[in-house]
Amino acid sequence: MRYVVIGGGIVGLATAHRLVLDRPDARVTVVEKEAVWGVHQTGHNSGVIHAGVYYKPGSLKATLCKAGSASMVEFCAEHGISHKVTGKLIVATDESELPRLRALFERAQANGLPVRMVGPGEAREYEPEVACIEGIHVASTGIADYKAVCAKLAEITEKAGATLRLNSAVIGIRAGEREVVVRTTTGDIVADVLVNCAGLHADRVARMAGIRPPARIIPFRGEYYELRPDRRHLVNGLIYPVPDPQFPFLGVHLTRMVDGSVHAGPNAVLAMAREGYTWGKIRPRDVADAATYGGLWQLARKHLRYGITEVRRSLSKRRFAQSLARLVPAVTAEDLVPAEAGVRAQAITPGGDLVDDFLIVTEGRQVHVLNAPSPAATSSLEIAKYITARLPV
């Protein structure tokens, strides 16, 4: 059986890796348009190994994230990849946040996670500078070097006999009843099964293959700062606010990375390109794709105030610092230096709803991963198992 995987981010590479492990006779090809693996969502995320606190019990995110947090730690340990199980604090800093915090604690318990409610004193045993009237400690949260995970997955997969093509952009797909032909800038690939893990471009790839996606990907840029080296001592691990359950975005938070730096963010603003890591990056096709989509306008009408708040924070370092100071009062604007931004591929339905769960569509001999933002990196090894279990042998 011949398999072609489109997309060399962590989900695509994990899927190819699982295929060569489970089906040693399979002929697997991975195509990636960039010159290195994991350039986009994988290479621009916060490096967190999520526990699965936020997700609806029984959902794909909840089940695959919980399993993935364990399998990712195991993979990193086995292959000498930098990682650490740090635990994290989710803190309420205002009485109005307490009902949401306690509802989140109940959800985490329903997901079978190692969580405890903590008061201000115990919270400060973990994070001496934190502001907190009540919090949740999540023991199984960690951090990892996901770029290194991608490199190792590619190495193992290629050694097992897969063909890995970098600098190979997909320019067309012809899908028949028995086989699929993927046209790329480095030649055609004929396969029996297609797996689309194209991330920010997954809906476009699906349309190339004759699939009508139930949602469209809209890019949201997540902007980060990091603490100056002499201020990194303010954060020991991970400190998060209580999220608003209406949104998939968790709010700006503080994360000590595997290299010891402390990242702050991200916020969430509409990007003017699917790979729009700065305000200045504008791609007319991507802008038109978003602007002509009714689902985005429906979303904007529902959440205009939230969107304005995010844009104002994006444009003001002082406002960004104020959001962080709710968690750690000692943080000031002078402590922050710009860091690399990321772009989240967020699927939105025609009715203007954010797709909350992973969205994986199977049709015939094709599988399309149409919504896999955070916690996809954490869950990637488990998403790969989920996908390969549903592929023709």
The model carries a pTM of 0.95
Query: Whole-angstrom Cα distance, residue 224 to residue 342?
Result: 8
**Average confidence (pLDDT) over 163-183:** 96
Dihedral angle over CA of 55, 203, 157, 61, nearest 10: 10
Residues 210-264 have pLDDT tens digits of: 999 999 999 999 999 999 999 999 999 999 999 876 665 778 999 999 999 999 9
Q: 354, 42 in Cβ contact below 8 A?
A: no
Residues 80-112 have pLDDT tens digits of: 999 999 999 999 999 999 999 999 999 999 999
Q: Provide the CB-side half-sphere exposure for 120 (13 A, CA).
A: 8
Residues 337-369 have pLDDT tens digits of: 999 999 999 999 999 999 999 999 999 999 999
Residues 316-327 have pLDDT tens digits of: 999 999 999 999
Q: Calculate the average pLDDT of the chain.
A: 95
Burial status of residue 95 (CB atoms within 10 A of its CB: 0-12, 13-18, 19 or more): exposed
Sheet with 269-270, edge to edge strand ranges:
269-270, 216-222, 342-348
